[in-house]
């Protein structure tokens, strides 16, 4: 394969800044691409929240000015080598030293700045990528800005041959702003404001910009790539998605197998492996002890780690809580989100003491301990572009119970009661009783110790490392260069 230069842009990257799965992907995929020989560099905003240990190691490379129509804004460029990959951080304290990453009144301007800076800074670091790999709405403008202001308009043809890949991690979040951003912030000609372009119900839609102007589109599982062509999943963009379906690829996410390894993970209570699974029981015991659950080896412990939002299927769990409890299980939940679900789990913990543990917070150590110590992992999502938690679970021998949608469908093989094949328990319809039925089936198998042990082993022997999927991205990049010229 050719030496290929990738400029990978994301608004969040683990371990520097994270609100969701996008950060995990942006933190681990580049590492895997690098292993395959790509010259990949990653760019993100320099947020206030980035831990000090990383900020202290950053190097200041210089600055550039970013043009936002009637004003030019300073953009400092810092870099840091981390696990063999070079990361670039864009500094402007006015935009990125905020209390949180998103949800500010001026997000439209903040991420326009980010998107422009992603292009503007390239000459400064003397990096001419073959492909810019964009992720989600926060970087969606890059492709249209490249066409409108850079490709044919900059000296030396620096931007001439750059192609773009736009990856959708979640179609629901689109970055929709009043149309005035067109000339007040973006400085884009109104000819881009049309049905096939940026216009969306008389507003500007940043994600749609990515869909409309990028060379190639992708999303994070094959099933989700299909689903979003239809009204139910398409979030009002299904028309454009159908139109571009021949440019749409589904590549399932991997996870970082080095950082998530039950044999080496220092965050869990006791390490274990597929050949020495006993350690898993010790993890369960300690987790029960630390999280206020009755310490009992033979009661099925169900883990839930998620943002507590509707997408993740909490309506079903809320509806079924008392019936699930009647099945004689324990539930441990970790996450924050909508008040309604937070309150529900707090209520459940007081209603079922010793049986429900509600951890309404974000805690990366506890997360690993739940993956390692639970027997089952519940993820009944309404929709799920890929989902990473089911992959972490399987890696730690925790059997997933999932709804058959998006990446959940592509990564969890339904358990076959007769042959003993499969890796989890699944249900098709978004229906509380179907979910309960999947839990009942899981408990049945759990009660048969030999069958369960075999199932746990099947989970642990799956390979969801990046090796396979990173290779598919490399093939995609090469296809683009072959087809459109490098």
388 lines the binding site for ligand GLC (CB under 6 A): yes
* Contact residue for ligand GLC among 129, 380, 387, 414 (CB under 6 A): 387
20 lines the binding site for ligand GLC (CB under 6 A): yes
Comparing CB distances to ligand GLC, the nearer of 386 and 470 is: 386
* Contact residue for ligand GLC among 293, 305, 386, 412 (CB under 6 A): 386
Comparing CB distances to ligand GLC, the nearer of 163 and 169 is: 169
* CA–CA distance, 297 with 283 (Å, rounded to integer): 11
Contact 378, 439 (CB under 8 A): yes
Comparing CB distances to ligand GLC, the nearer of 22 and 144 is: 22
Comparing CB distances to ligand GLC, the nearer of 58 and 388 is: 388
* Contact residue for ligand GLC among 198, 220, 333, 470 (CB under 6 A): 220
Comparing CB distances to ligand GLC, the nearer of 338 and 437 is: 338
* Contact residue for ligand GLC among 7, 9, 18, 21 (CB under 6 A): 21
**What is the pattern of x (binds ligand GLC, CB under 6 A) and - over residues 397-416?**
----------x---------
Q: Find the part of the chain contacting ligand GLC (CB under 6 A) among 7-15, 50-58, 203-211, 380-388.
A: 380-388
214 lines the binding site for ligand GLC (CB under 6 A): no
For β-strands 376-379 and 399-403, DSSP reports them as parallel
**Burial level of 172, CB count in 10 A (0-12/13-18/19+)?**
middle
Q: Find the part of the chain contacting ligand GLC (CB under 6 A) among 21-29, 93-101, 123-131, 358-366.
A: 21-29
* CA–CA distance, 393 with 375 (Å, rounded to integer): 9
Least Å distance, CB 2 to ligand GLC, is 26
Contact 27, 14 (CB under 8 A): yes
* CA–CA distance, 185 with 69 (Å, rounded to integer): 6
Comparing CB distances to ligand GLC, the nearer of 96 and 137 is: 137
Least Å distance, CB 224 to ligand GLC, is 8
Q: For the chain, how many residues are written?
A: 486
Least Å distance, CB 292 to ligand GLC, is 29
* CA–CA distance, 86 with 408 (Å, rounded to integer): 31
**What is the pattern of x (binds ligand GLC, CB under 6 A) and - over residues 450-469?**
--------------------
What are the φ/ψ torsions at residue 414 (nearest 5 degrees)? -55, 135
Least Å distance, CB 220 to ligand GLC, is 4
Burial 236-270 (b: 16+ CB within 10 A, else e): ebbebbeebeeebbbbbbbbbbebbebeebeebbb
Q: Find the part of the chain contacting ligand GLC (CB under 6 A) among 16-24, 188-196, 369-377, 444-452.
A: 16-24
Comparing CB distances to ligand GLC, the nearer of 165 and 301 is: 165
Contact 48, 17 (CB under 8 A): no
25 lines the binding site for ligand GLC (CB under 6 A): yes
Q: Which of residues 63-92 bind ligand GLC (CB under 6 A)?
A: none
Least Å distance, CB 6 to ligand GLC, is 17
169 lines the binding site for ligand GLC (CB under 6 A): yes
* CA–CA distance, 13 with 431 (Å, rounded to integer): 34
Contact 302, 375 (CB under 8 A): yes
139 lines the binding site for ligand GLC (CB under 6 A): no
Least Å distance, CB 218 to ligand GLC, is 10
Question: Residue count at the site for ligand GLC (CB under 6 A)?
Answer: 14
Least Å distance, CB 350 to ligand GLC, is 30
Residue 52, Cβ neighbours under 10 Å: how many? 7
Residue nearest to ligand GLC (CB): 21
**What is the pattern of x (binds ligand GLC, CB under 6 A) and - over residues 238-277?**
---------------x------------------------
Q: Find the part of the chain contacting ligand GLC (CB under 6 A) among 20-28, 125-133, 146-154, 397-405.
A: 20-28
22 lines the binding site for ligand GLC (CB under 6 A): yes
Question: Which residues here bind ligand GLC, judged by CB under 6 A?
Answer: 20-22, 25, 169-170, 220, 253, 384-388, 407
């Amino acid at each position: 394969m050719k030496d290929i230069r990738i400029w990978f842009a994301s608004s969040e990257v683990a371990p520097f800044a994270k609100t969701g799965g996008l950060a995990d992907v942006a933190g681990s995929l580049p590492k895997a691409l690098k292993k395959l020989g790509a010259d990949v560099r990653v760019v993100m905003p320099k947020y206030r929240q980035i831990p000090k240990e990383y900020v202290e190691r950053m190097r200041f490379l210089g600055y550039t000015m970013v043009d936002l129509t009637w004003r030019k804004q300073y953009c400092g460029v810092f870099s840091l080598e981390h696990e063999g990959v070079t990361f670039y951080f864009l500094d402007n304290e006015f935009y990125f030293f905020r209390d949180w990453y998103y949800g500010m009144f001026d997000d439209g301007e903040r991420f326009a700045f980010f998107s422009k800076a992603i292009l503007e800074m390239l000459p400064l670091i003397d990096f001419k990528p073959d492909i810019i790999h964009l992720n989600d709405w926060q970087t969606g403008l890059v492709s249209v800005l490249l066409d409108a202001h850079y490709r044919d308009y900059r000296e030396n043809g620096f931007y001439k041959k750059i192609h773009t890949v736009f990856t959708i991690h979640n179609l629901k979040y689109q970055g929709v702003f009043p149309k005035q951003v067109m000339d007040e912030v973006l400085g884009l000609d109104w000819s881009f404001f049309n049905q096939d372009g940026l216009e969306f119900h008389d507003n500007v839609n940043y994600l749609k910009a990515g869909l409309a102007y990028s060379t190639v589109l992708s999303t994070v599982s094959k099933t989700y790539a299909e689903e979003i062509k239809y009204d139910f999943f398409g979030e009002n963009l299904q028309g454009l998605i159908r139109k571009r379906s021949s440019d749409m690829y589904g590549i399932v996410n991997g996870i970082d197998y080095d950082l998530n390894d039950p044999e080496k993970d220092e965050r869990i209570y006791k390490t274990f492996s597929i050949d020495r699974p006993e350690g898993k029981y010790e993890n369960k015991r300690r987790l029960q002890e630390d999280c206020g659950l009755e310490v009992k080896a033979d009661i099925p412990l169900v883990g839930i780690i998620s943002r507590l939002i509707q997408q993740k299927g909490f309506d079903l769990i809320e509806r079924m809580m008392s019936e699930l409890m009647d099945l004689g299980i324990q539930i441990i939940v970790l996450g924050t989100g909508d008040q309604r679900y937070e309150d529900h789990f707090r209520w459940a913990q007081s209603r079922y003491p010793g049986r429900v543990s509600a951890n309404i917070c974000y805690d990366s150590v506890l997360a690993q301990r739940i993956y390692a110590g639970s027997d089952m992992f519940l993820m009944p999502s309404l929709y799920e572009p890929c989902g990473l938690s089911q992959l972490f679970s399987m890696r730690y021998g925790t059997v997933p119970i999932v709804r058959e949608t998006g990446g959940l469908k592509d990564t969890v093989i339904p358990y076959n009661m007769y042959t003993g094949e499969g890796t989890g328990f699944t249900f098709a319809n978004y229906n509380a009783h179907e979910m309960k039925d999947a839990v009942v089936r899981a408990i049945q198998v759990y009660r048969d110790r030999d069958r369960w042990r075999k199932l746990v082993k099947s989970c642990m022997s799956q390979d969801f490392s990046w090796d396979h999927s990173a290779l598919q991205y490399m093939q995609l990049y090469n296809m683009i260069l072959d087809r459109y010229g490098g």
